[in-house]
């Protein structure tokens, strides 16, 4: 899991959603405008949250914070 990137996880998410939608249509589920809008919202919200909340690096250490604060003064 350490080698998982944001873009790979989001790609897997969209692939899973596409598989579920295709299976639902193949089994005869009725897709109305409201259902489509709800499905689109449920499909797009998790990847956006992953993109925003995924840490790109390690948090700064106490020493880095202290030295940065001293340089600003």
Q: Range with the lowest mean pLDDT among 11-15, 48-52, 58-62, 66-70?
A: 66-70
Judge whether 10 and 51 are in contact, CB under 8 Å: yes
pTM comes to 0.58
pLDDT band at 70; cut points 50, 70, 90: low
Region 26-50: what's the mean pLDDT? 85
| Percent with pLDDT over 90 in the chain | 1
In sequence order, the 6+-apart residues with CB closer than 8 A to the CB of 9 are: 50
pLDDT band at 73 (very low <50, low <70, confident <90, very high): low
């Amino acid at each position: 899991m350490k080698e998982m990137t944001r873009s790979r996880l989001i790609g897997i998410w969209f692939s899973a959603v596409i598989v579920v939608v295709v299976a639902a249509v193949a089994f005869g589920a009725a897709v109305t405008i409201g259902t489509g809008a709800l499905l689109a919202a449920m499909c797009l919200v998790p990847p956006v949250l992953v993109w925003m909340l995924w840490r790109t690096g390690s948090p700064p250490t106490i020493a880095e914070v202290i030295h940065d604060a001293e340089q600003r003064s």
